[in-house]
A and B are shown apart, each in its own frame.
Chain A
Amino acid sequence: MFRRVLIANRGEIAQRVIRACRELGIETVAVYSTADADALYLREADETICIGPPPGKGSYLSIPSIIAAAEVADVEAIHPGYGFLSENDHFAEVCRACKIHFIGPEPETIALLGDKVAARELAKKADVPVVPGSDGPVEDEARALAVAAKIGYPIMIKAAAGGGGRGMRIARNEPSLVTGFHAARAEAQNAFGDGTVYLEKLVENPRHVEVQILADKHGTVLHLGERDCSIQRRHQKLIEESPSAALTPQLRKEICEAAVRVARAANYHNAGTVEFLLSRTGEFYFIEVNCRIQVEHPVTELVTGIDLVQQQLRIAAGEPLKLKQSDIEFRGHAIECRINAEDPEKDFQPSPGRIDLIVPPGGPGVRLDSHAYSGYRIPPNYDSMIGKLLVHRQDRPTAIRTMLRALDEFVIQGPKTTIPVHRQVLSHSDFRAGDHDTGFVERYLSPHPRIAQGKDG
């Protein structure tokens, strides 16, 4: 096992990794930008190093600064967390060249799976269904129209290098395909420096179901069940749960096995997530692989009892998984609500600033992963997450009741938060019936639902 690990991230995930390391007896080196100098989790680290100014470009995204800190602090491994450099194959490559273990898959794997067109080909070869589409980049308007005619409308235009909804357009007819095609290309070029786009059939009102994978360096690939992340707003997840109310045991078996096949085909090791769209009629389609620990990983930790971050550290250190697929048992139902400093009344605009008072909820079945404290200033430079509130109960209705109770207990004075939105979702009859999809938030919670839909079309 590693003796000393650097955490190339901030906020709750930096804290989460420090916690895992401390329990394993690993020394931690936390790096931080000047905007995070007063973060409390830094005190839990064995060493802290300021690596740059507030903008991510000069600190958490600066490969030279992080590698220099790793060399100065003499660490054996770097945990990249999520976001920032976590899925940057160049960073993983630099780590390898500097003889520092990158806690995640190999750079070649990250590069392969980061290219959505290549990832789709890989899934097809692994006999995993993909959404019908262009099978590769679409270079011009005429080709886009021809492909669309073949697979049928509505069509989704996506950036090959994209993510987080950028470089993405929906077209319901030929004219909107033409305008959307050019808009998506321009947006992708601006956002990612790569204007390559491809087309896909739009699966309407799908559910977002993802499968957690753990794979070691010795050929063992396990799945830890699924998470249903259908409650999203503009492709940003708000609520995640496991198990998914939409899967039958047979469908669950199929989707989890498909995820394992993708991971095997990609020669994947460490923790990863295979994302799928699940249609209303029970077909599932591969979307992408996330080569990192995910924000919502505690959902899986609760239902399986497996500490995913500790497993990541063990796998990266070369330990074989001590588990077999049959050892993994799923107990009860877990739900996570992302508590963000956003104002739901004002189109979820960020609400940074000082948290005057925070009183976390507690009691049976409640877990809170948060780096916030009374007096903490949420810096305006990064994401707006205050914390992740989770519950684990014997079944879904009980978990929903416990979550509503915990949300009621949760006091956050200062910034506006997403707590009222979670209350609304959890109280909605469609959500309670497990009959919801990725369009739920736009349909029921947007202040102008028609306008929100019009933007897409």
Chain B
Amino acid sequence: MDFKLIQKLVALMERGKLAELEVEDKESGLKVRLKSESSVQPQPHAAPVVHMLHGGAPAMAHSPAAPAQGGGEPAKPAREGKTINSPMVGTFYRSASPEAEPFVRSGTRIAPDQTLCIIEAMKVMNEIKAEISGEILETLVENGEPVEFGQPLFLVKTD
């Protein structure tokens, strides 16, 4: 699986403290070039896995709702707005079925009882509601990607 391979490469980079890595698979014709965000930051971050954010930063162990800062997810810091975080571990889906339109996209107006996405856990499709109203600024997770508890899913401009 391509995603798993990338995950492994990222872990390899972290361990070897590599800033950049290029891999080519001649069989599949797949070429991946990875550039570490942490190479920009002066402080090396010790998160073992990049695709998953810790739900609470060390200093905020008692406020699980607070999103982690600087865990390696690009494009997230320095944006205005509120994040909607995953209430569970599972697989993230933007739409009800592979053919269907995404529930929301950037610019969609949302109401508290509106379904934003589906998280599949133990073969159960859990509809995740907005619980706030506002406007979706960005979807922070790719379709079909695994998410962990507390991981930011959407960036929202609240009313």
Q: Please measure, in the bound complex, the distance between the C-alpha atom of A64 and the C-alpha atom of B122, giving whole angstroms.
A: 6
Instruction: Let me know if B48 and A47 touch, CB within 8 A.
Output: yes
B139-159 residues with Cβ-Cβ distance < 8 A to A are 146, 148-151
Q: Which of A38, A45, A51 contacts B89 (CB 8 A)?
A: A51
A52-84 residues with Cβ-Cβ distance < 8 A to B are 52-54, 59, 64-65, 67-69, 71-74
Q: Does B121 interact with chain A (Cβ within 8 Å)?
A: yes
Q: Does A398 interact with chain B (Cβ within 8 Å)?
A: no
Take A34-B64, A53-B64, A68-B89 as given contacts and tell me if A48 and B56 are in contact as well, using a CB distance cutoff of 8 Å.
no
User: Mask for B22-40, Cβ within 8 A of A = 1, else 0?
Assistant: 0000000000000000000
- Please name all residues of chain B whose beta carbon is closer than 8 Å to the beta carbon of A38 when the two chains form the complex: 58, 61
Residue in chain B with minimal CB distance to A71 = B122
Q: Does A202 interact with chain B (Cβ within 8 Å)?
A: no
Q: Please measure, in the bound complex, the distance between the C-alpha atom of A46 and the C-alpha atom of B11, giving whole angstroms.
A: 8
- Please name all residues of chain B whose beta carbon is closer than 8 Å to the beta carbon of A64 when the two chains form the complex: 88, 121-122, 124
Chain B interface size range: 20 to 34
- Please name all residues of chain A whose beta carbon is closer than 8 Å to the beta carbon of B7 when the two chains form the complex: 47
Take A51-B148, A52-B149, A64-B124 as given contacts and tell me if A72 and B61 are in contact as well, using a CB distance cutoff of 8 Å.
no
Take A43-B46, A43-B48, A64-B121 as given contacts and tell me if A72 and B56 are in contact as well, using a CB distance cutoff of 8 Å.
no
Within the complex, the shortest CB–CB distance from A242 to chain B, in Å, comes to 36
B42-74 residues with Cβ-Cβ distance < 8 A to A are 46, 48-49, 52-58, 61-62, 64
- Please name all residues of chain A whose beta carbon is closer than 8 Å to the beta carbon of B90 when the two chains form the complex: 68, 72
Q: Does A280 interact with chain B (Cβ within 8 Å)?
A: no
Q: Please measure, in the bound complex, the distance between the C-alpha atom of A367 and the C-alpha atom of B71, giving whole angstroms.
A: 35
Chain A interface size range: 20 to 34
Q: Does A126 interact with chain B (Cβ within 8 Å)?
A: no
Instruction: Let me know if A35 and B61 touch, CB within 8 A.
Output: yes
Take A67-B122, A68-B90, A71-B122 as given contacts and tell me if A51 and B149 are in contact as well, using a CB distance cutoff of 8 Å.
yes
Q: Which of B11, B62, B91, B151 contacts A50 (CB 8 A)?
A: B151
Q: Does A42 interact with chain B (Cβ within 8 Å)?
A: yes
Instruction: Let me know if B55 and A50 touch, CB within 8 A.
Output: yes
The A interface, classified by DSSP as helix, strand, loop or mixed, is mixed
Q: Which of B48, B61, B88, B91 contacts A65 (CB 8 A)?
A: B88
Residue in chain A with minimal CB distance to B7 = A47
Q: Please measure, in the bound complex, the distance between the C-alpha atom of A59 and the C-alpha atom of B122, giving whole angstroms.
A: 15
Instruction: Let me know if B56 and A37 touch, CB within 8 A.
Output: yes
Within the complex, the shortest CB–CB distance from B141 to chain A, in Å, comes to 13
Within the complex, the shortest CB–CB distance from B94 to chain A, in Å, comes to 17
Instruction: Let me know if A48 and B49 touch, CB within 8 A.
Output: yes
Q: Please measure, in the bound complex, the distance between the C-alpha atom of A73 and the C-alpha atom of B147, giving whole angstroms.
A: 11
User: Mask for B118-139, Cβ within 8 A of A = 1, else 0?
Assistant: 0011101000000000000000
Instruction: Let me know if A49 and B61 touch, CB within 8 A.
Output: no
Within the complex, the shortest CB–CB distance from B37 to chain A, in Å, comes to 18
Q: Does B79 interact with chain A (Cβ within 8 Å)?
A: no
Q: Please measure, in the bound complex, the distance between the C-alpha atom of A43 and the C-alpha atom of B88, giving whole angstroms.
A: 22
Instruction: Let me know if B89 and A49 touch, CB within 8 A.
Output: yes
Instruction: Let me know if A34 and B55 touch, CB within 8 A.
Output: yes
- Please name all residues of chain B whose beta carbon is closer than 8 Å to the beta carbon of A46 when the two chains form the complex: 11, 48
Q: Please measure, in the bound complex, the distance between the C-alpha atom of A53 and the C-alpha atom of B55, giving whole angstroms.
A: 8
- Please name all residues of chain A whose beta carbon is closer than 8 Å to the beta carbon of B150 when the two chains form the complex: 34, 50
Q: Please measure, in the bound complex, the distance between the C-alpha atom of A69 and the C-alpha atom of B147, giving whole angstroms.
A: 9
Instruction: Let me know if B49 and A72 touch, CB within 8 A.
Output: no
- Please name all residues of chain B whose beta carbon is closer than 8 Å to the beta carbon of A449 when the two chains form the complex: none
- Please name all residues of chain A whose beta carbon is closer than 8 Å to the beta carbon of B89 when the two chains form the complex: 31, 49-52, 65, 68-69, 72
Q: Please measure, in the bound complex, the distance between the C-alpha atom of A43 and the C-alpha atom of B54, giving whole angstroms.
A: 12
Instruction: Let me know if A45 and B122 touch, CB within 8 A.
Output: no
Provide 21 A-B residue pairs closer than 8 Å at the C-beta atoms, listed in order of the A residue. Answer: A34-B54, A34-B150, A42-B48, A43-B48, A46-B48, A48-B48, A50-B55, A50-B149, A50-B151, A51-B89, A53-B55, A53-B149, A64-B88, A64-B121, A67-B121, A68-B88, A68-B89, A72-B90, A72-B146, A94-B122, A377-B61
The 8 closest A-B CB pairs, nearest first, are: A68-B121, A38-B58, A34-B56, A72-B146, A34-B64, A34-B55, A50-B55, A50-B148
Interface set of A (CB-CB < 8 Å, partner B): 31, 33-35, 37-38, 42-43, 45-54, 59, 64-65, 67-69, 71-74, 94, 98, 377, 379
